[in-house]
Each structure stands twice: as C-alpha cells, then as structure tokens.
A = this chain, B = another copy of it.
Amino acid sequence: MLGDRWSLLIIRDMMLLGRRTFKEFLSSYERPASNILADRLRRLKAYGIIRAKRDRSDGRKLIYLLTPKGMDLAPVLTEMVLWAGKHEKTENRPLIRLMQKDKEKFLAQIRQRWAQNKISPPSQ
C-alpha cells in the first residue's frame, strides 16, 4: 500500500507540514507529477488512509485529511524522520530536534493538533 515513491511523502506532508490541497502537495519539496499525485491521492483514499472534503469557503478546493487509520502512521513517519535525521542530510532540523527531545510528547501534540483541525506545521 505504501511501497511506492510518493505515498509516504504525501502523508508526511499532511501530518508534519500541514499540507492539505492538491496544489500544496504539488509544490512539495520532492515535486510529484500532477497525474501521479492524483493517482496516489485516489489510492490513499481507497485504502482509507485519507479522505477529502470540499472547502466551505472555496468550492474549487478539496481539503485532504488523514483518517484515524492515516493518523496511526504518525509513529512510522516519526521514526523514519528520526532515522533520516541521524543518517542522511536533511533540512528541517528543528522538527527533528523536537522529535528527539520527547518522542511521545511530539506524537501527542500531533494527534491533538489534528483532533482540533489545527493542521498547521508543528512549531517548537
């Protein structure tokens, strides 16, 4: 389900960077092609990992959100980011330091932010 180049990156962008719309995913660091992005969003939806709803204030926009199943990937993503932070060059060091400092607290914060629909990227 997640064994391709883009799925986990999309989920990371949603969970950790607060991305929510097609356009936002398109302009992510790794820049997926629009047709592939559309396909991956479709698949993640079919798997029950994300869902989409119309934007109340702009009927063109679709807001993509993680389902509970998708949110349960938070520990996976966290461990992957920590691993990459330890062994590879990465940007967003502050985020990594936050994770390292207290992993459980970080996960709790992410879940809480999500529950409130305050989907902004984590800040110190």
Which residues of A are in contact with B by a Cβ distance under 8 Å? 1, 3-6, 8-9, 48, 69, 72-73, 75-76, 78-80, 82-83, 86-88
Instruction: Name the distance in Å between A12's Cβ and chain B's nearest Cβ.
Output: 11
Can you pick out 23 interface pairs between chain A and chain B where the beta carbons lie within 8 Å of each other? A1-B88, A3-B4, A3-B5, A3-B6, A3-B8, A3-B9, A4-B4, A4-B5, A48-B87, A69-B87, A72-B83, A72-B86, A72-B87, A73-B83, A75-B79, A75-B82, A75-B83, A76-B76, A76-B79, A76-B80, A76-B83, A78-B79, A79-B79
Residues of B within 8 A of A48 (CB): 87
CA–CA, A72 and B1, complex, Å: 23
Closest to A7 in B: B3
Closest to A2 in B: B80
Residues of B within 8 A of A3 (CB): 4-6, 8-9
Residues of B within 8 A of A72 (CB): 83, 86-87
Point out which of A5, A9, A75 has the most chain B C-beta atoms below 10 A from its C-beta.
A75
Point out which of A5, A72, A87 has the most chain B C-beta atoms below 10 A from its C-beta.
A87
Point out which of A1, A76, A78 has the most chain B C-beta atoms below 10 A from its C-beta.
A76
